[in-house]
Copies of this chain bind each other. A is one copy, B any other.
Amino acid sequence: MQLAEPLQAAIEELSKLPGIGKKTAQRLALFLLKGENENVANLLKALHELKTKLRLCARCFNISEEELCPICQSAKRDDSVICVVEEASDVIAIEKSNEYYGIYHVIGGVLSPLSGIGPDTLKIKELLKRFESENIKEIILALNPDTEGETTALYLAKLIKPLGIKVTRIARGLPIGGDLEFADEATIGRAVSGRIEL
């Protein structure tokens, strides 16, 4: 069956979103079509402002409304410690834990030669430049615990350590609420080798 062209176009655009297949896209399109004009206008306005009102922080590349993000602007943060993360969503995740009071640097991805992502694609140059103007004592690498994240962490450690800056990595181990019986071998291995004295 040939759907009406505007409906077909909306379904195609919606199904480009991550985790949204054709069937969900059709459901969303019909929901919006049936919904109040005002609700849809609110959604469109919010998405438009998302793209126009936000930019990347000039210092740490976190999401920001102004030139510097709220974390970089805050006087309460310890600006001698930088936590290096892949994406802005990781900043949100770490902030939610309420355990970290330093500042951040979002490198925008991980090294992945197969996808053509080398050191120059990431904000690594910008990180090294911060060491010149800022008084940094420690770098915490909080990259994802997968092959590419580990590779990127090792690459960064090799670059930064010679500068006399302490480089640490967030711990790997059993997640809170996790079950030893069902954890995979790699996680258990890391949990044992990374044990700490009580």
Contact = CB atoms under 8 A, between A and B. Distances in A.
A195 interface: no
A116 interface: no
Contacts of A89: 26-27, 30
B10 A49 contact: yes
Interface string A51-73: 10110000000011100011000
A4 B46 contact: no
Copies in the complex: 2
Interface stretch (A13-21, A129-137, A138-146, A168-176): A13-21
A193 interface: no
Interface stretch (A34-42, A75-83, A152-160, A181-189): A34-42
Nearest to A28: B17
Interface of A: 1-7, 9-10, 12-14, 16-19, 24, 26-34, 37, 39-40, 42-44, 46-51, 53-54, 63-65, 69-70, 87-89, 92, 95-96
7 contacts: A1-B96, A3-B63, A4-B54, A10-B49, A18-B28, A33-B50, A40-B47
